[in-house]
Amino acid sequence: MDFINIAKAAKQASLEIADLNTDLKNKALTAVADAIETNKEKIFDANKKDLEEAKALVASGELSQSTFNRLKLDDNKMRDMISGIRDIIKLEDPVNKTLFTRELDKDLILYKVSCPIGVLGIIFEARPDVIAQISALAIKSANAVILKGGKESINTNKTILGIINSALDNIEGFPKNVLNQVFTRDDVAEMLKCDKYINLIIPRGGNKLVKFIKENTKIPVLGHADGICHIFVDKSADLEMAVKVVIDAKTQYPSACNAVETLLIHEEFPFKTDLLKALETDGIKLITHPESWSFEYGDKILSYKYVKSLDEAIEHINTYGSGHTDSILTTDTENAEKFMNKVDSAGVYFNTSTRFADGFRYGFGAEVGISTNKTHARGPVGLEGLTIYKYKLKGKGQIVADYVSGEKHFTHRDL
């Protein structure tokens, strides 16, 4: 099937799934989680094939080591993938929630009600667990999706979506073509032009991918280009906490977009040397004069800089950061509040690791990605970020002419 027909089918599916009740959506999600659990060895086998083929791409320089690292599915990722789906089942249905009710006049009532966005185009690199996360979120939020993964994960992607769609085929009343997959660069080009059928593009990948997508489509794009995350160690910070938090933020998963890339240290912090020594002992390579303060290493490499004040730290972050996630370590609560109010990022943290910037860890069940946008959705985007709203107005034959003439008057009373 060519891309335009896939998009048309997805659009039709989005209209059908929009009216599904919560029980049917949860039944579908239960079947999906069970099917993935039953077939996890089949998924691991497909992933091993991708990893073998990807080694050659790394050797030729076509694939970065950090992207290769994200490609691997292990027991922990599999467990999180399955539990993420089961967690989504437990979450409140985000669709058809009444956000406000307003009486415009007697027997003329306005409702603001949440609804699905429609068709989502998801373009992602490596991370095959994205398929299960996004499929589950799409089902619960009643959206259709068209997924395009990287060629490095094609076997895993095909296997996972095949298992999911086989499970959905057995759910009576669940629409066909809700979850779709395409594979070629030509498909990406067609997707970016397809504003008639696709409502939102969500890229998940490196800076180059996101910038390319933003520059080549008229469809709204939700996501982030860079993950330039900072930790500021204030002069009153606890050394033991600082060592623990910075090591976690840098080494727990160095290639993640929420890993810390720059460490800012107050020049009056009394344990500067001890902190840096502890980081080096843990295998972190420290750089004092990087070529750029806006570089995402995706590795156990950390830029650091001494600053004279909290204000200088905030200015540095707002100048060189990507608006993703930034943290302050301090015992001064006033400084913490100032930092969190003035740093212009989707996530601002106090005495904790930047690695918490994640939909699963926020209790969203999973995420379609992290957004640094300032419209619609920001930070880890879970179920609510995949809904928009519509206005429902219920009346009894009222006409505008009566209000223009002054015969009738609006009450505008919130109920």
Q: What is the pLDDT of residues 50-102, one digit of tens each?
A: 999 999 989 998 888 878 888 999 999 999 899 989 999 999 999 999 999 99
* Range in 40-54, 58-72, 213-227, 287-301 with the lowest mean pLDDT: 58-72
Do residues 415 and 109 lie in contact, with contact meaning Cβ atoms separated by under 8 Å?
Answer: yes
Given CA atoms 355, 359, 364, 366 in this order, what sign does their dihedral have? negative
Residue 132, token pair as written in the block: 């299960």
- 374/386 Cα distance (integer angstroms): 15
Residue 207 pLDDT more than 90? no
Do residues 219 and 231 lie in contact, with contact meaning Cβ atoms separated by under 8 Å?
Answer: no
Residue 17, token pair as written in the block: 């799934």
* Best CA proximity match to 50, nearest among 123, 124, 126, 122: 126
* Average predicted confidence (pLDDT) for the chain: 95
Strands (E), 196-324: 200-204, 229-233, 260-266, 285-287, 301-307
Summarised one tens digit per residue, pLDDT across range 103-121 is 999 999 999 999 999 999 9
- 364/200 Cα distance (integer angstroms): 20
160 DSSP 8-state letter = H
Q: Does domain 229-356 have CATH number 1.20.1440.130?
A: no
Average the pLDDT over 288-316 and give the result.
Answer: 96
**Which residue is it, tokens 């997924």?**
147
- Helix-helix angle 185-193:3-17, to 10 degrees: 60
Summarised one tens digit per residue, pLDDT across range 384-394 is 999 999 999 99
Q: Binning pLDDT at 50, 70 and 90, where does residue 311 land?
A: very high
At residue 64, the pLDDT reads 83
Q: How far is CA 184 from the centre of its chain?
A: 23
Residue 257, token pair as written in the block: 């977009």
* Range in 17-21, 46-50, 63-67, 336-340 with the lowest mean pLDDT: 63-67
Residue 413 pLDDT more than 80? yes
Summarised one tens digit per residue, pLDDT across range 123-158 is 998 888 889 999 999 999 999 999 999 899 999 999
At residue 29, the pLDDT reads 98
Q: Does domain 3-222+368-391 have CATH number 3.40.605.10?
A: yes
Residue 316 pLDDT more than 80? yes
- 307/264 Cα distance (integer angstroms): 7
- The values of phi and psi at residue 28, to 5°, are -65, -45
At residue 240, the pLDDT reads 98
At residue 365, the pLDDT reads 75
- 113/22 Cα distance (integer angstroms): 16
What percent of the chain is modeled with pLDDT above 70? 100
- Looking at this protein, which amino acid is placed at residue 313? A
Q: Binning pLDDT at 50, 70 and 90, where does residue 367 land?
A: confident
Do residues 41 and 158 lie in contact, with contact meaning Cβ atoms separated by under 8 Å?
Answer: no
At residue 304, the pLDDT reads 98
User: CB-hemisphere CA count at 13 Å for 80?
Assistant: 19
Q: Binning pLDDT at 50, 70 and 90, where does residue 255 land?
A: confident
At residue 210, the pLDDT reads 87
At residue 65, the pLDDT reads 83
- 396/408 Cα distance (integer angstroms): 14
Q: Binning pLDDT at 50, 70 and 90, where does residue 223 land?
A: confident
User: CB-hemisphere CA count at 13 Å for 200?
Assistant: 24
Residue 206 pLDDT more than 80? no
Average the pLDDT over 276-290 and give the result.
Answer: 98
What percent of the chain is modeled with pLDDT above 90? 87
Domain ranges of the chain: 3-222+368-391, 229-356
Average the pLDDT over 255-264 and give the result.
Answer: 95
